[in-house]
A and B are shown apart, each in its own frame.
Chain A
Amino acid sequence: MWDYTDKVKEYFFEPKNAGVLSDANAIGEVGAIACGDALKLMLKVDPGTERIENAKFQTFGCGSAIASSSALTELVIGKTLDEALKLTNADIADFLGGLPPEKMHCSVMGYEALQAAVANYRGEEWADDHEEGALICKCFGVDEGMLETAIRVNKLTTLEMVTFYTKAGGSCATCLEAIEGVLARSNEKMVAEGIIPAEAAFVAGQVEVSGVIRKPQAAKAPAPVSDDFVPLDIFNEEIRAAAPQPKLTTFQRIKLIEDVIEEVRPALQRDGGDCELVDVDGNNVMLKLTGACINCQLSAMTVAGVQERLVERTRLPIRVIPVKAPGH
C-alpha cells in the first residue's frame, strides 16, 4: 500500500471538480502510455481578462493521478493564464502534502495537461517532450529516461558525475548498481556513435561500488567532464560551511543574483541556449530560459543547477521559477 498523505486520500475519495465542463474553451489532453495514465483538463477562460473561471477534469489513472488532477483544478481556478503557467508539478505535489517518488509522474501529467490546455486556448500546438522510464532513484525520483538524457547531453562517464548532475544515487545509494547499468549501456551506445572515445566509457564492474559512497571531498573536487562545468558538491557540508555568510542589502542581493546568472550564461550559450533574469521577489528568482533551453528536456535540471549555484553563493533559500515572458 502506498504511503499517501491524508490530502491525497481526500482528493481521491472525494475529488473536487471531477467531470465534464461543457462550456470549456481550453482543453488539454495528455497521457503516458507506459504508465497508463491519461488526463483531460477542461478550462473555462474569460477571454477579456484571461482569467480561469472554472476547471474540471477526467482522469484514467491511479489514486494519486486522480488526486493530482483534482488538485490542479483547485490550483488554477481564479488564476490568469500567465499566473497558471507558472505552476510546476512540484506545486501540485506540495498542494497534496507530497507524493511518493514513484508517483511524482502523476503531478507531471497535471503540469503537462495545463500547458496543453493553455496552448489549446491560444491556438498553439503543444508537443510533449517528457520521457519516462523505469524509476531508478527512489529518493530523488529520477527515472531511466532522465538519466540517459543527462548522460548523453553532458557526456557523463562516471557514477559520481551522474549523481552530481541528476542527484540519482545521492541519498540511500541502493540504486547505484542500477545507475551503473544505465551508465554502461548509454556509454556503449555513445562510443558506437562516436560521441565519446571508447577508453572514456564506463564499464560496469571496474570500480569498487563500495568506494563510490560519498566521502567528504573538501580538498579535491572531482574532475569535470567538460570544461564549462563546475561540479556543485551539494552533498558536501564542508564546502557549504566554508562559503562566506554575507549580510546583504536588497540591492546587493539582487546584484549578486545578477552576477551569478551572468556567470552561468556562457555555459548555456555554448549549448545554444540562454537565460534572462526577469524579476526578483523576496527569495523567488524569476528566470526566463531562451534559445535551445526552451523545450529542452534538461531545462528542469538547468533550473535546478542555477538554483543550487544561487543558494551556494547567496546563502539564501533561493527558489528559481522558470517563466515564459519577461514581466506580466
Chain B
Amino acid sequence: MSVRPVYLDNNATTRVDPRVVEAMLPYFTEQFGNPSSMHAFGAKVGGSVREAREKLQALLGAAHDHEIVFTSGGTESDNAALISALEANPLRAEIITSVVEHPAILSACEHLAKTRGAKVHHIGVDAHGRLDIEAYRKALSDKTAIVSFMWANNETGTINPISELAGLAKDAGALFHTDAVQAVGKIPIDLRNTPVDMLSLSGHKLHGPKGIGALYVRRGTRFKSMLKGGHQERGRRAGTENTPGIIGLGVAAEIAHQNLESDMPRIAALRDRLEKSLLQRVGNAFVTGDPHARLPNTTSIAFEYIEGEAILLLLNRAGIAASSGSACTSGSLEPSHVMRAMGIPYTAAHGAIRFSFSRENTKEDVDQVLEVMPDIIARLRELSPFWSGEGPSTGAFQPTYA
C-alpha cells in the first residue's frame, strides 16, 4: 500500500526541522561538556546555551534573556508555575483557571487542591469556547494567587484575549500565567508589552525536539523552584541542562521567528480552503471554536451522527493523519472536556475531527483530504443508526441508554 502520507496533526507534535537536527548533533558528540564546568569543554557549550536563550527571547519578545528558564516541556512548565505561585504567595491560596485547559493545568490544579488546600475556580466558556469574562472578574480577589488561562486552545485553536485577561489579574494583585504551548511559533507574541508573569512553551510543537520546553518568568516575579538540586537556570530549575534539546529549541525558535509573518497567512489560507470545501461537500458538519479568534493552523470540524475514531481509521488508511475529540481515541469513554464545555451535543462531539497544519503542509495535502473525506463520512453515516438516506433519522432511533 503506497499512499502519500499527509500529516495534519501538528498540534499533537511536529516533525523536527532538519536544520534543528543538524544543529543538535554535535552536542551529543564532541560538544558533550557540562555547561556548568570550569574547563573548555563546558565553556563552549555554555556559550551555545546562551545563544539559544537569546533566540527564544526574540521569538517571545521578552525584555531579558534570563527571564527564560529551560524545562523538560509544557507539562513541567505548567506545574512549576502553579506550584511556585502558591509557595511564593502564602497569603493567597486560590487559583483561577478555565474548564478547557490542558490536563497539565487541570490535573495539577486538582492535585494542589487536594494536597495544599488550594481553592480552584474553573471559568466556563460559551458555545464558541470563549471565556466567561464576567465570571472571571467575580472570581478574582485578594485571595487569588495565580490566574492561568491558555493562550490558544489545542483542540479548537480558539485564542484567548491574553492582554485583557492578564490586565485584570494584575489589577487584583494576582500572578498571571499562560499555557502558550499551542501559540508560540504560530502567532506573534510580544511579552515586553503583555502583562503576563509566566508563560509555558514546548519545543516539539514548533518543529523542535521533544523533552525540551521553557517557562518564561518575568523579571521581578517571585519564583520558587519546583525541582530541588543544583544551581542551574539561576537556581530556578535544578538538573544538568539538556544541552542538545536547548540548542534544538533555540534553532527551532529562530526559524519560527524568521518565518512567522510569511507562514501565518499561507497556513491560514490552506486551512480555510480545507474548511470551506469540506463544509461545502459534507452536510451536517460545523466548525467548533471561535471563528473570529483562532490559530491560523487549526480547524476542528464536528461531523454529526458518526464517531471520530472510525473517521480517523479510514483517514489513516488513506494516508492522512488527524486527531479527534472523540472518547474512543483516548480510552476515557467520554468525549473531550473541551467539546463538553462548549455544550456540543454528544452525537457531534464524538465526531469532531481536528486538522492542524504546519509550515510543511501543501496544497496537495488539502486536495488529498478533500478527495477522500466526503466518501468516508458518507460511508460511516450509512452505518449509523442516527442517519437514514440523506439526513438524520430524527426521533426514529431511540436506544435504551445505559
Contacts and interface: CB of A to CB of B under 8 A. Distances in A.
B73 interface: no
Interface residues of B, number: 35
B382 A128 contact: no
B382 to A, nearest CB: 7
A66 B383 contact: yes
Interface string A50-84: 00000000111111111000000000000000000
Nearest to B317: A13
B383 A33 contact: no
Interface string B267-295: 00000000000000000000000000000
Given A36-B328, A60-B307, A31 B399 contact: yes
B9 to A, nearest CB: 12
A149 to B, nearest CB: 13
A57 B30 CA distance: 63
Interface stretch (A130-138, A194-202, A306-314): A130-138
Q: Of residues A34, A38, A40, A132, which shows the largest number of chain B Cβ atoms within 10 Å of its Cβ?
A: A38
Given A62-B307, A132-B333, A35 B317 contact: no
Contact of A135 (B333, B399, B401): B333
Contacts of B385: 29, 38-40, 58-60
Contact of B328 (A30, A62, A130): A62
A59 B309 contact: no
Contacts of A20: 388
A16 to B, nearest CB: 12
B402 A58 contact: no
B362 interface: no
B332 interface: yes
Given A18-B383, A128-B400, A128-B401, A60 B326 contact: no
Contacts of B328: 35-36, 61-65, 103
Contacts of A64: 328
A36 B307 contact: yes
Contacts of A36: 307, 326-328, 335, 346-347, 349-350
Nearest to B388: A20
A19 B398 CA distance: 17
Interface string B305-318: 11111100110110
Given A35-B327, A36-B335, A36-B346, A59 B383 contact: yes
B90 interface: no
Nearest to B401: A33
B384 interface: yes
Given A19-B382, A135-B331, A29 B310 contact: no
Interface of B: 305-310, 313-314, 316-317, 326-329, 331-335, 346-347, 349-350, 382-386, 388, 397-402
In order of increasing CB-CB distance, the 4 nearest A-B pairs are A62-B328, A31-B399, A62-B309, A40-B385
